[in-house]
Amino acid sequence: MRFVLGIDGGGTSCKAALATADGAVIGRARSGAANIRTDLTGARTHIVDAARQAFLAAGQDPDLIPETPAVLGLAGANVGTYRQQLQAILPFAASRVETDAEIALEGAVGAGDGAMAIVGTGTAYMARKDGKSRAIGGWGFQIGDQGSGARIGRDLLEQTLLAHDGIRPASPLTDEMLAVFRNNPEDVVEFTTNAKPGDFGGFAPKVFEHAAKGDAVAQWIVDKAVDDVEAALGALELRPGDPLCLLGGLAGLYASRLTERYRAQLRQPLDDALGGAVSMAARLFSEQGR
């Protein structure tokens, strides 16, 4: 075995990295979407295309694909039998299909134990303990994703309407939000009718900003969000020495707000998800080769 492949496939694109057997990346490439839940054969096409392009980018012969093992991180790989269906039609010497979260965790904390919290428009968590991974959260903002940008934005709009009705106290932030909607609560409701998680989440940085300035409603929302994130971290049952990485658009805003216990465990991610796939491939297949 001369090379290993790492693949990071998602709903918008598929990235591939070719590396030497010890995990040093020598070529990268990107192709189209790899959504195994909605288009399995299309996903295979883009995965193979990205792999070929990575060989070419490294100045290597793509005909070596059947001799090259790969680790693939793909959203939806933990659902139904998509993983098995895909593995059966891939052309690599060996294929290990993992979830996107698994390769992100490997990239963030490396091969050992540790955990990551993705805090962005949504929230999701994964921890590896004694080599076994466990994922929690990530159920979407409607009845999950506590502490996410979407939930924080939704909370703000809710508090804005409650303040308008005189049910809960107003604040500079709720006044500002109501003004955004022409001081018309019906416009707020109208906005939510078609709002996607990212539309709600767009208000989250403003909530953190006002919380830092002492806005009482913003502080209440952020305190609740931090409490929710810490409750999820608590369920991961990390040991004091385990590294913890915060990923996602709100990572920087949360980092300073966690209690000392979790702040002491925070580490910068070692690498991204694609890097995680590569190093997992080098680790798994070099071991097998020995």
| Closer residue to a second copy (CB): 216 or 270 | 216
Q: Closest separation between CB of residue 104 and a second copy, Å?
A: 18
Cα separation, 97 vs 14, in Å, equals: 14
| Closer residue to a second copy (CB): 80 or 214 | 80
| Closer residue to a second copy (CB): 41 or 142 | 142
| Closer residue to a second copy (CB): 165 or 260 | 165
Cα separation, 246 vs 104, in Å, equals: 11
Q: Closest separation between CB of residue 154 and a second copy, Å?
A: 6
Cα separation, 243 vs 205, in Å, equals: 26
Positions that interact with a second copy (CB under 8 A):
79, 136-137, 139-140, 142-144, 146, 154, 157-158, 161-162, 165-168, 185-186, 188-189, 192-193, 231-232, 234-235
In which order are the strands placed within the sheet that holds 132-137?
A: 132-137, 123-129, 114-119, 244-247
* Nearest to 272, CA basis, from 280, 264, 262, 263: 280
Q: Closest separation between CB of residue 239 and a second copy, Å?
A: 16
Taking phi over 0 as left and psi of -120 to 50 as alpha, with beta for the rest, 23 belongs to left
| Closer residue to a second copy (CB): 62 or 185 | 185
* Nearest to 250, CA basis, from 200, 180, 213: 200
| Closer residue to a second copy (CB): 79 or 179 | 79
Cα separation, 29 vs 131, in Å, equals: 30
Cα separation, 156 vs 181, in Å, equals: 13
Cα separation, 245 vs 155, in Å, equals: 26
Q: Closest separation between CB of residue 66 and a second copy, Å?
A: 35
Q: 3-state DSSP helix/strand/coil percent for the chain, to nearest 5?
A: 45, 20, 35
Residue 290, Cβ neighbours under 10 Å: how many? 5
| Closer residue to a second copy (CB): 65 or 157 | 157
Q: Is 12 exposed, middle or buried (0-12, 13-18, 19+ CB in 10 A)?
A: exposed
3-state secondary structure of 241: coil
Here the tokens at position 172 are 């500079």
Q: Closest separation between CB of residue 164 and a second copy, Å?
A: 9
| Closer residue to a second copy (CB): 100 or 271 | 100
Q: Closest separation between CB of residue 82 and a second copy, Å?
A: 13
Q: Closest separation between CB of residue 280 and a second copy, Å?
A: 25
* Nearest to 75, CA basis, from 33, 136, 117: 33
Q: Closest separation between CB of residue 236 and a second copy, Å?
A: 9
